[in-house]
Structures are given as structure tokens and as C-alpha cells.
Amino acid sequence: MEPDEAVVAHVNYLFFHSTQSYIHFYLRRFRRTRPLCLTRTPESPLIDPTVPPALAGDFYQYGQAAARHPLQRQVYGLGLTVRRLLTRMPPRFSDPLLHALHRRVVPRLRPEADGTRYLAWAGDILARRKARLIHAYYGPVGWRMLALKRRLGVPLVVSFLGDDVAPRLGDWWSWWIASGAEPPDWPARLRELLAGGDLFLTEGPVLRRRLIDLGCPPERVVLQRIAIPVAEMPFRARAPRPGARPIILFAGRFAEQKGLVYALEAVRALRDEGRPFEFRIIGDETLTDGTYASRIYADVRRHRLGDRVRMLGFLNRRDYVREMERADIFLHPSVTAHDGASEGGAPTTILEAQALGLPVVSTLHCDIPNVTVPDRSALLVPERESGELARALGWLLDHGERWADMGRAGRAHMERYHDADREAPALEARYLALLNRPSPS
């Protein structure tokens, strides 16, 4: 480490190599700070359990000894298998079983279920490594890090995701904000975080406005775009392939805000029109409680979509990019979920699809209009309007001559606004500005 290289602790629920890859793109490009990574949970072995060599020696996993124990690995693997089997059952049977699994069984099997012990573990590492700033991903993790900010006297930066500003948090966040037997009051904890944090990052203006409306001082919330390694993503101008069925691709967790139910409704309408195509889906119940996934599988069975829909599962990054390169059209119809969860900004997959040259069909949701070029790189329709999705897809299938121009518009937009080589230095500059600000008198 260089003498003037500040150590910045990046703290997340789970490691962010594949599932939140844009964070890793930032980490690889920092030159004036040294990233220290702390995670509660490792990457799923179904995705990519490896730690990049560049982070060797700077990566810490809570409960690592227990996670390496053969019995613990067997229990974890059994849990994944049980959840996968339940999601393939009809929802009327699977939903109560999945709820019981995640609310009653899983918490008792975790060896690291005490948040106060986690704080002691993390605090020891940050003190020993002389961390000068904490960057937490996302709101609930930021609230937990408030205690370390105060204890160590360091600035706290928090990136917000979208579902962390919903009125009610998903169950997977509760561990971070629980402090007793009573259900945690997230709105109260969020207000405490917004009052106590030093800087809050959002990927677009919609989420920034939401934080301000919740009481965040405007000067403390700034736009920091999602960044991708544009130069590493090979552009290909799309064109119809004679004799081949066009490939429409979706990629994302099987969570309500991803809107996959409406994608399947649109695909069914296209199938009923007799159009030739194949709909490929990257994703599954991984990193969810499985209840939405059971609905997805049930819809495919009920409407006999097996001849048009190909389920690829949750892929590692290498295989995910390969499927993107094979596709002709990218579909991602995000919505605001019934519990208020949203994308907050926009899915990273939409950015990556544009960088690779794919025309996009999506929705007028959160910051998606800001990360695309509406009507030039992407066709955007209202949320939950599967008929409009079908019409947009049908238009693209009928106008293959427009694919290349849409792809070029998307690529240019990514190069101008979302290139990691430019955005990473900008984020580091924000860290250094906090570290160099005058101490309060």
C-alpha cells in the first residue's frame, strides 16, 4: 500500500463479484484508495464462490470458519435443494412451506445470527486495518454501520438500492436492523441513518428525490451512476439471422420488482400470434425466498410455454455475458412491487445489454428512462402493461433493420455516462473529499 493510500471498508450483505458486479468494477479501478471488503454471506456456490486475486488479503467473510465446516456446507446445500423443490410445486402448496422455511427454519440454522457480535467482528478488522472510511451497501447495512462510524470516528458513505426505501423491508434485511425481540421499525431506523450518515449515493435522480422526500439533506445525497467496463464488453450490431428464431433474453432474480410475470404474459401473446422466437431466462429462486419463483414456474406450466421458454438458471458472469452476446433483444419489464420495493434506479443488466448492442424493451420505471435513450436504444412502456410489452416486442420482431441503430445508440449512451474507467475516479474523489474536509470545531 502506498503511504498516502487510504483504506476504505466496503461492507455488504454478500460478496459482490457476480450478483452486484458493478461494485466489483469500481473496486478494480480504485488507484488512490485501498478497498477492504467485509461480507456477511459468501457468493452462492451456484453463481461464483471465488474471490478475485486482486482482493486477496483484503476480503473478510463473517462466520468463515463455520461456513467452511463440512456439516455447515451440507446443511446449506440441503437448504438450496429444498427451496428449489418447493418452488416447482403449485404456489398454493409451496407458499406456506417457503414462508415457514425462511422465517422459522433458516434463522435457527445460521451460525452468525447475532448482529451485535458481527459489529464486534467488523470493528476489530476496521481498527486493525486502520480503515478511514466506511462504504455500506445498502440502507440496512448502513444503519448497522452507524455504530462503527461513531466508535471509530470515520465517515460513512451509503449506497441505496431501491427496496431499502420501501415502507417495509424484505425479510432478508431484518438481521441487519434487528436489535431485540420486537420487529424492527425500519422507517425510524432509516430516519436515523439519513441524519447520521455523511454521504448517500443513488444511481439516478428518481431515487435521489425519494431520499430527499424522506428527509435526507439535499447536499448529502448525490448521483453516482452504476458503472460497467464498457471497453471489456464486445459490441455487436444485431441483425435478423436468416432461418433462425430471434432470441429474446431476460436476466434477473425471480423477484416481483423484476416484472417477469408480465414478460411471460407478453411472450404468450406473441406465441398466440404465431410469431417465431425463443425466450431465454437467466435467473431463478437464488437470492430470494422462492415465492415469486413458484409463480413463474407455475405460469410456464399452466400456459404450456415450454416450447418457447428456455430456463437457464442463475449463471456466473462469464456464462451470463455469453448468453447476452447470443441474444437479439433484451427484455426487462421492471415494476414497483406491492410492498413498495422497486429497482430504485435501474437494473445493471439493462446497461450491459446496451453496451453489448442489444435493443431493449423495458418500462417507465424509476430511473430506467435515464439509463436508456427512449425510442432510440429502448422501447419503454408503462409498468404492468403486458399488452404494451407484446406490441413493443412485436414491432422489433417486424423491424429487424432497426436493431443495429438501436444497439449503437445504447452503446454510445453507455460510453458517455456509465463507463467504469471514468466513474471510479469520480467516486474516489468523493471519498477523498470527505477524508480531507476540515474537522468540526
| pLDDT reported for residue 107 | 58
Q: Could you report the per-residue pLDDT of 419-429, keeping only the tens digit for each?
A: 999 999 999 99
How does residue 77 score in pLDDT terms, banded at 50, 70 and 90?
low
How does residue 115 score in pLDDT terms, banded at 50, 70 and 90?
confident
Q: Could you report the per-residue pLDDT of 5-36, keeping only the tens digit for each?
A: 899 999 998 776 556 788 889 999 999 999 99
**Amino acid at site 175:** W
Lowest mean pLDDT across 42-51, 110-119, 175-184: 42-51
Percent of the chain scoring above 70 in pLDDT: 89
Lowest mean pLDDT across 150-159, 334-343, 392-401: 334-343
- Bigger pLDDT: 236 vs 181: 236
d(CA 310, CA 132): 48
Instruction: Name the pairing type of β-strands 278-282 and 309-313.
Output: parallel
| pLDDT reported for residue 163 | 83
| pLDDT reported for residue 167 | 79
- Bigger pLDDT: 219 vs 80: 219
Mean pLDDT, the chain, as a whole number? 89
How does residue 69 score in pLDDT terms, banded at 50, 70 and 90?
low
| pLDDT reported for residue 256 | 94
Q: For residue 321, with 0-12 CB atoms within 10 Å meaning exposed, 13-18 middle and 19 or more buried, which class applies? A: middle
| pLDDT reported for residue 1 | 40
pLDDT at 111 over 60: no
Q: Could you report the per-residue pLDDT of 31-45, keeping only the tens digit for each?
A: 999 999 998 876 666
Give the mean pLDDT of 232-245.
96
Question: Torsion angle of alpha carbons 336, 282, 352, 396, nearest 10°?
Answer: -80
Q: Please state at what angle helix 420-436 crosses helix 21-29, rounded to 10 degrees.
A: 70
CATH of domain 230-417: 3.40.50.2000
| pLDDT reported for residue 170 | 75
How does residue 322 score in pLDDT terms, banded at 50, 70 and 90?
very high
- Bigger pLDDT: 87 vs 113: 87
Sequence spans of domains, the chain: 6-62+112-227+420-436, 230-417
Write out the chain in H/E/C secondary structure: CCCCCEEEEEEEEECCCCCCHHHHHHHHHCCCEEEEEEEEECCCCCCCCCCCHHHCCCEEECCHHHHHCHHHHHHHHHHHHHHHHHHCCCHHHHHHHHHHHHHHHHHHHCCCCCHHHHHHHHHHHHHHCCCCEEEEECHHHHHHHHHHHHHHCCCEEEECCCHHHCCCCCHHHHHHHCCCCCCCCHHHHHHHHHHHCCEEEECCHHHHHHHHHCCCCHHHEEECCCCECHHHCCCCCCCCCCCCCCEEEEECCCCHHHCHHHHHHHHHHHHHCCCCCEEEEEECCCCCCCHHHHHHHHHHHHCCCCCCEEEEECCCHHHHHHHHHHCCEEEECCCCCCCCCCCCCCCHHHHHHHHCCCCEEEECCCCHHHHCCECCCEEEECCCCHHHHHHHHHHHHHCHHHHHHHHHHHHHHHHHHCEHHHHHHHHHHHHHHHHHCCCCC
Lowest mean pLDDT across 113-122, 126-135, 136-145: 113-122
Nearest to 258 by CA among 145, 186, 347: 347
Domain 6-62+112-227+420-436, second-level architecture = 3-Layer(aba) Sandwich (3.40)
Give the mean pLDDT of 191-203.
97
Q: Could you report the per-residue pLDDT of 289-318, keeping only the tens digit for each?
A: 889 999 999 999 999 999 999 999 988 888
Q: What is the CA radius of gyration of the chain?
A: 22
Neighbours of 369 (CB within 10 A): 17
| pLDDT reported for residue 47 | 62
